[in-house]
Amino acid sequence: MKRIRTIMAVFKKEFTLLVRYPTWIIQMILWPLIMPLTYVLSALGLAGPDRSGLEIFAQVTGTDQYISYIVIGTMMWMWVNTIMWTFGSYLRNEQMLGTLESNWLCPVNRIDMLSGAGVMSICMAFFMCLISIIEYRFIYGANFTGNIFHWVLVFLIMIPGVYGFASCFASLVLWIKESNAAVNVVRGLVMILCGISFPVEITPVWMQGMAKLLPFTYGIKAARELMVFGKSISEAVPIILMTVGVGMIYVILGKLCFTYTESKVKMQGSLGRY
């Protein structure tokens, strides 16, 4: 019960800040519209005047619904991007505000402070995904084959991987004292390796190997199988299990990274260093 109170206290604090500065809602509405546009227009341009390139795209991906294929990938990328800026940068932001040291001295489990920020970012991510789905369906005309249950399932199976990875990231940022550059590197890697606008299978073998180390690769593939290719949950079980399995590995890694960082900053006394 004490741990839940800690998590909810951090959640309440983050929610209060969010409500106090509501301009983030504008970003949540505009970014889902802007982000896929680059890839969709590039696809149309590269397809040629006779759209023959889209036929090659259909042969490679297995679907001619290129808009749906692209927006699924970009939506997952935006989720990762949002998490890196909020949950992944939480400890560093607290450090820059000057509140991390005092919070660190509280008689609570410190991983719960990070978990509270994670709950807040889950709510933000769900809100962003909801807005994205509505905009893609009615503005981009994307044709999704799944139902609302499929969307919820995709969201749930990606949570372990996304937040396990973000926990590792948050611990790393506390060490290097720089979140902006770290976020740009991570989201660039996700954009290149995880196939947000193309199938991973067309990349070089060494890049495919790197992509398999990231949980987002499996989540994007699972989302496309359910929402673009029209597969049932039973048909998508292998990739769903892979998404959850890799995600749980990252949850364990995130806990280990946080524990190690917690011990290291205590020994070095570097928690208050800018």
What's residue 241's pLDDT?
92
What's residue 190's pLDDT?
82
Sign of CA dihedral 98, 3, 267, 169: negative
pLDDT 10s digits, 212-246: 988 889 989 998 888 888 888 888 889 999 999 99
Percent of the chain scored above 90 by pLDDT?
A: 6
Res. 249: pLDDT tops 90: yes
Range with lowest mean pLDDT among 119-123, 144-148, 255-259:
144-148
Given pLDDT bands bounded at 50, 70 and 90, which one contains residue 273? Answer: low
Tell the residue number behind the tokens 């940068």, with chain if given. Answer: 89
pTM as predicted: 0.86
95-109 average pLDDT score? 80
What's residue 269's pLDDT?
66
What's residue 274's pLDDT?
61
Give the pair of three-digit tokens for residue 24.
């983030």
Res. 248: pLDDT tops 90: yes
Rounded-to-integer distance, Cα 9 and Cα 13, Å: 6
What's residue 242's pLDDT?
92
Mean pLDDT, the chain, integer? 83
What's residue 19's pLDDT?
84
What's residue 245's pLDDT?
92
195-206 average pLDDT score? 87
At 273, is the secondary structure helix, strand, or coil?
Answer: coil
Count of positions (residues) in the chain: 274
What's residue 59's pLDDT?
86
What's residue 270's pLDDT?
63
Given pLDDT bands bounded at 50, 70 and 90, which one contains residue 272? Answer: low
User: Burial code of 24-61, b = ≥16 C-beta within 10 A, e = fewer?
Assistant: eeeebeebbeebbeebbeebeeebeeeeebbeebeeeb
pLDDT 10s digits, 9-48: 888 988 888 888 888 788 888 888 888 888 888 888 877 8
Q: Are 226 and 146 in contact (CB under 8 A)?
A: yes
56-71 average pLDDT score? 86
pLDDT 10s digits, 139-192: 888 888 877 788 888 888 888 888 888 888 887 777 777 667 777 788 788 888
Give the pair of three-digit tokens for residue 189.
């890697």
Query: Quick one: 78 exposed, middle or buried, by C-beta within 10 A (0-12, 13-18, 19+)?
Result: buried
Percent of the chain scored above 70 by pLDDT?
A: 97
What's residue 246's pLDDT?
92
What's residue 252's pLDDT?
92
